[in-house]
Amino acid sequence: MMKICILSGNPKKEGLCQSVIDAAKLGVSEGGAEVDEIRLCDLELIRCKVCGNGWGPCRSENYCNYGADGFDEVKARIQMSDAIILASPVYWGEPSEAFKCFIDRLRRCEFNQTEVLRNKQVLLIASAGGTGNGLISCLEQMDRFCRHTSAIIFDYIGVNRWNSDYKRLAVKSAAHALASGRKNDDTV
Ligand X SMILES: Cc1cc2nc3c(=O)[nH]c(=O)nc-3n(C[C@H](O)[C@H](O)[C@H](O)COP(=O)(O)O)c2cc1C
**99 binding ligand X? (CB under 6 A):** no
Alpha-carbon 144 to chain mean position? 12
- Closest approach of Cβ 168 to ligand X, in Å? 12
Region binding ligand X by CB under 6 A among candidate stretches 14-22, 47-55, 75-83, 143-151? 14-22
Pick the closer one to ligand X by CB: 79 or 133: 133
- Selected from 15, 47, 60, 76, the binder of ligand X by CB under 6 A is 15
CB of 54 to ligand X, least distance (A): 28
Q: Of residues 29-68, which lie at the interface with ligand X (CB under 6 A)?
A: none
| Run of H or E including 86 | strand 83-89
Q: CA triplet 104, 106, 109: central angle to 5 degrees?
A: 115
Please tell me the distance from the alpha carbon of residue 166 to that of residue 171, in angstroms, as a whole number. 9
- Cα–Cα distance for residue pair 162/173, rounded to 1 Å: 19
Greatest pairwise CA separation for the chain in angstroms: 49
Q: Give the range of 30-38, 106-114, 116-124, 129-137 binding ligand X by CB under 6 A.
A: 129-137
DSSP state of 47: P
Which of 9, 31, 89, 158 is in the footprint of ligand X by CB under 6 A?
89
